């Protein structure tokens, strides 16, 4: 009812450029941040953190990363699982090689290493586009998983071929290993999410983002108005891989604790991320969150209903979960091909006018 | 006329030294000769039209001018210097902007963002300052926005500022594309059939915008157009091409009197 822009006048271009032009949106955003940082840590338990919040936060980072590459720059990538693996193994090697290194730096460095790998695998994008590029990134996916399987140095010659996160602390709290308090892991990941989402938003609303979108929408015209395609595409690959690498590092060290590359970072992870991006909405930061939330929360919800409420057998529930989620993805793509972000936008437009039809 | 350094148009504008000179350009695609040994210049402040029947090589000429094609023979001189082979985005950085025959807007972006893209070559902040946003990046963004808003006012497209360009009607899209090219403050503006597919009213509007751009900003313009009436009205000098060759060059009146041009457009009387 009071969701209005009437009376909310902008007198400078800087005000018009705000992330949330509507006052109510701004208040809502700060409220969510406050609740996220000050209320949630005190009320959550282990189940909420490990089943819902951590995967949601970590996949949000990865989804923002893939959205930058696919949604903003238009380069389809099926290699995200492989890039997550790079982040995970980079963090493992850094943690074991430099035991005194702060976990914050470890995660950021893992992202940087993934960014460099991303640039290398982004080079074909200068020549090939669309489906062909998707296949080229698929090659990256298989190559990276194969490499982390075959080269024993990456998992420190352990007999199982697994990597296990050693215990590390941040500001005196355990962040990896067996004795992590749920709220520490949550706050650690939340901080990364907030900073990275804010950075992504700033990039996409400035020239960096405009260069990417110009390449996405029409690469020839982009080059003719002065966009260097090499710079734009490789920077998208670098930034995107950085995000995905950070997500991979967090997924392995904070969430999973132990990982085997084919299982944790296989092709299904690439598709999961792509689903999140498409369902959330290509080219939208909010959509990245929405997509990650949908793909993480919905199965949990379904499971709770089917096993918890209806008392079905777990295996039947698991199969039904696949069927329902799959069907919903298809329905979504037919009803709203631009994803949850577009749905949200339409809702907001309606709310602005409500209760009047026009 | 092309021998003198400056000349004055009938409406009293003084046309200066050449901005771009094409010297003996030959462009081949395999065995097909698209442009054959053509030379002409475009002078500071003038509206230069390139006309010719379909397939004469006009668009190829424009593509040579902004570096999309590299001619096999000949030289392109820009601002009194020979231009080495460059990528199109480098040439954009030198101040050559263009529009396309088939609209080449960024369909997923708003009108505002499309025109903001035109200012890319003038904006210098890097990715790190973009991430921080506050400070340099925001200041530069606001400066660019002020320029862009002037262009939006000039083209009278305020109402569609935040609309996605994909949903706009054809005539407006053409206008937005002109706006994107103008946002670059170009030294040379290349327009590839700015009036193709427009009705009379839209053509009049577009002609007026082109004349105003030339008049208010002093922008040098080279344009390709099929509508002879429009060309004769707004162009200072005209190059006529046919089958990749230049068959006429001069003021509209001179070109109209040229027998080769008449032959190319109306056919030769074989009777």
Q: Express each pLDDT in A226-237 by its tens digit.
A: 999 999 999 999
Residues pairing with B241 in the sheet: B246
Q: Does A249 reside within a domain?
A: yes
The structure's pTM equals: 0.91
pLDDT of residue A143: 95
Q: Does A217 touch chain B (CB under 8 A)?
A: yes
Structure confidence by residue, pLDDT tens digits, A64-117: 999 999 999 999 999 999 999 999 999 999 999 999 899 999 999 999 999 999
Q: Which residues of B touch A21 (CB under 8 A)?
A: none
CA-CA distance, A219 to A133, in Å (whole number)?
15
Q: Which residues of B touch A17 (CB under 8 A)?
A: 138, 141-142, 145
pLDDT mean across residues, chain B: 90
Q: May I ask the CATH class of domain B1-95+187-194+220-271?
A: alpha beta
Which of B76-95 are b and which e, b meaning 16 or more Cβ less than 10 Å from the residue's Cβ? bebeeeebeebebbbbbbbb
Residue A136 lies in a domain: yes
Query: Residue A201 pLDDT more than 60?
Result: yes
Residues in Cβ contact with B232 at an 8 Å cutoff, skipping those fewer than 6 apart: B252, B256
Hey, what are B156's tokens? Answer: 């009278």
Q: Which among A199, A203, A211 has CB closest to B120?
A: A211
Among all chains, which residue has been given the structure tokens 């891989």?
A: A241
- Cβ neighbours for B8, distance < 8 A, ≥ 6 positions apart: B14, B15
The answer to whether the CB of B164 falls within 8 A of the CB of B109 is yes
Contact of A302 with chain B, judged by CB distance below 8 Å, is answered with: no
Q: What is the rounded average pLDDT for all residues in chain A? A: 90
Q: What is the pLDDT of residue A358?
A: 66
Report chain A residues whose CB lies below 8 A from the CB of B106: 213-214, 216-218, 221-222
Q: Which residues of A17-48 are buried (b: 16+ CB within 10 A; e: fewer)?
A: beeeeeeeeeeeeeeeeeebeeebbeeeeeee
List the single residue in B108, B127, B145 with the smallest CB-CB distance to A213: B108
Please report, for residues A38, A90, A192, A245, B128, the alpha-carbon distance to residue A104 in angstroms, rounded to integers and kept in the order given: 21, 13, 9, 13, 19
Write the residue in A13, A223, A227 that is nearest to B142 by C-beta. Answer: A13
Task: Tell me the C-alpha to C-alpha distance, in Å, between residue A160 and each of A152, A164, A260.
Answer: 11, 10, 9
Calculate what percentage of chain B has a pLDDT beyond 70.
98
In the predicted structure, residue B243 carries a pLDDT above the cut 80: yes
CA distance B202 to chain A (A): 24
φ/ψ (deg, to 5) at B25 = -75, 130
Rounded to two decimals, the ipTM of the complex is 0.89
Q: Considering only A303-312, B100-109, B214-223, which range has the smallest mean pLDDT?
A: A303-312
| C-alpha distance from residue A151 to each of A31, A148, A261, A268, B134 (Å) | 47, 6, 12, 22, 45
Residue A209 placed within a domain = yes
Mean pLDDT of A331-337: 84
Burial-class residue B3 by CB neighbours within 10 Å (0-12, 13-18, 19+).
exposed
pLDDT for position A1: 44
Chains A, B: CB contacts under 8 A, how many?
105
Decide: A154 and A91 in contact? Cβ < 8 Å.
Answer: no
Quick one: tokens of B194? 């700015």
- What kind and span of H or E run contains B24? strand B18-29
Interface test with A, best of B66, B109, B124, B177 (most A CBs within 10 A): B109
Q: What are phi and psi of A289, to 5 degrees?
A: -65, -45
Please indicate whether residue A86 or residue A6 has the higher confidence score (pLDDT). Answer: A86
- Check if the beta carbon of residue B51 is closer than 8 Å to that of residue B249: no
* Spans of all domains in chain B: 1-95+187-194+220-271, 104-185
Model confidence band, residue A153 (pLDDT cutoffs 50, 70, 90): very high
Nearest to B100, CA basis, from B189, B35, B205: B189
The pLDDT value given to residue A240: 97
Q: Between B13 and A257, name the one with better pLDDT.
A: A257
Distance CA A129, CA A277 (A): 19
Domain hosting residue A60, numbered range: 44-266
Select the highest-mean-pLDDT range: A2-6, A195-199, A302-306, B52-56: A195-199
pLDDT level of residue B4 (50, 70, 90 thresholds) = low
Q: How confident is the model at residue B1 (pLDDT cuts 50, 70, 90)?
A: very low
Number of separate domains in chain A = 1
Using an 8 Å Cβ cutoff, are B27 and B64 in contact? yes
| CB of A306 closer than 8 Å to CB of A312 | yes
How many other C-beta atoms can be found within 10 angstroms of the C-beta atom of residue B22? 22
Give the distance from residue A114's alpha carbon to the nearest chain B alpha carbon, in angstroms: 18
Cα A337 vs. chain centroid, distance in angstroms?
20
Please tell me which residue of chain B has the smallest CA distance to A226.
B89
A19 has a chain B CB within 8 A of its CB: no
> Does residue B175 surpass a pLDDT of 50?
yes
Encoded tokens for A49: 């953190």
Instruction: Kindly state the average pLDDT of the residues A213-235.
Output: 93
Chain B residues touching A239 at Cβ < 8 A:
127
Average of per-residue pLDDT across A190-204? 95
The answer to whether B120 and A210 have CB atoms below 8 angstroms apart is yes
**Domain membership flag for residue A335:** no
The answer as to whether A122 is a domain residue is yes
- B104-185: CATH number: 3.40.50.300
Contacts of B262 (CB under 8 A, 6+ apart): none
């Amino acid at each position: 009812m009071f969701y209005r822009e009437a009376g909310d006048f902008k007198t400078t271009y800087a005000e018009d450029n705000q992330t949330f032009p509507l006052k109510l949106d701004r208040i809502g955003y700060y409220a969510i941040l406050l609740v996220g940082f000050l209320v949630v840590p005190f009320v959550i338990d282990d189940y909420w953190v490990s089943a819902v919040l951590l995967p949601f936060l970590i996949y949000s980072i990865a989804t923002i990363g893939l959205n930058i590459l696919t949604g903003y720059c238009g380069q389809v990538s099926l290699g995200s699982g492989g890039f997550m693996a790079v982040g995970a193994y980079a963090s493992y090697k850094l943690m074991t090689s430099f035991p005194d290194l702060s976990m914050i730096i470890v995660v950021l460095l893992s992202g940087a290493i993934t960014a460099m790998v991303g640039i290398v695998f982004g080079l074909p994008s200068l020549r090939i586009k669309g489906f062909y590029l998707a296949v080229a990134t698929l090659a990256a996916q298989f190559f990276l998983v194969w490499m982390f399987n075959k080269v024993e140095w990456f998992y420190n010659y352990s007999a199982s071929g697994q990597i296990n996160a050693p215990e590390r602390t941040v500001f005196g709290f355990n962040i990896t290993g067996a004795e992590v308090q749920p709220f520490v892991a949550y706050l650690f990941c939340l901080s990364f999410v907030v900073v990275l989402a804010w950075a992504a938003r700033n990039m996409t609303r400035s020239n960096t983002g405009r260069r990417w979108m110009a390449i996405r929408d029409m690469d020839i015209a982009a080059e003719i108005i002065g966009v260097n395609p090499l710079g734009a595409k490789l920077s998208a690959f670098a930034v995107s891989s950085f995000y995905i690498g950070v997500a991979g590092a967090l997924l392995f060290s904070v969430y999973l604790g132990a990982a085997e590359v084919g299982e944790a970072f296989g092709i299904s992870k690439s598709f999961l991320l792509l689903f999140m991006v498409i369902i959330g909405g290509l080219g939208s930061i909010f959509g990245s969150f929405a997509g990650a939330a949908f793909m993480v929360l919905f199965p949990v919800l379904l499971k709770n209903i089917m096993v918890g409420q209806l008392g079905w057998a777990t295996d039947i529930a698991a199969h039904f979960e696949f069927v329902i989620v799959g069907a919903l993805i298809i329905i979504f793509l037919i009803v709203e091909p631009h994803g949850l972000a577009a749905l949200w936008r339409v809702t907001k437009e309606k709310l602005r006018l409500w209760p009047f039809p026009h | 006329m092309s021998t003198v350094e400056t000349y004055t148009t009938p409406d009293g504008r003084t046309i200066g030294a050449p901005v771009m000179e094409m010297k003996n350009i030959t462009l081949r695609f395999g065995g097909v000769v698209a442009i054959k040994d053509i030379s002409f210049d475009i002078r500071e402040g003038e509206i230069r039209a390139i006309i010719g029947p379909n397939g004469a090589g006009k668009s190829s000429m424009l593509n040579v001018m902004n570096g999309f094609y590299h001619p096999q023979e000949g030289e392109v001189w820009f601002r009194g210097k020979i231009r080495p082979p460059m990528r199109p985005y480098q040439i954009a950085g030198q101040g050559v902007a263009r529009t396309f025959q088939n609209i080449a807007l960024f369909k997923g972006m708003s009108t505002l963002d499309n025109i903001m893209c035109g200012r890319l070559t003038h904006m210098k902040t890097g990715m790190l300052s973009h991430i921080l946003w506050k400070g340099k990046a925001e200041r530069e963004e606001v400066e660019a926005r002020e320029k862009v808003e002037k262009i939006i006012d000039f083209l009278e497209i305020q109402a569609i500022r935040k609309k996605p360009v994909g949903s706009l009607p054809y005539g407006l899209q053409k206008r937005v594309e002109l706006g994107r090219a103008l946002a670059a403050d170009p030294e040379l503006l290349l327009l590839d059939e700015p009036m193709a597919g427009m009705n009379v009213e839209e053509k009049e509007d577009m002609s007026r915008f082109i004349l105003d751009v030339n008049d208010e900003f002093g922008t040098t313009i080279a344009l390709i157009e099929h509508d002879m009436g429009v060309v004769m009205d707004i162009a200072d000098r005209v190059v006529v091409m046919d089958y990749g060759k230049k068959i006429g060059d001069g003021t509209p009146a001179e070109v109209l009197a040229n027998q080769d041009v008449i032959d190319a457009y109306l056919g030769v009387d074989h009777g």
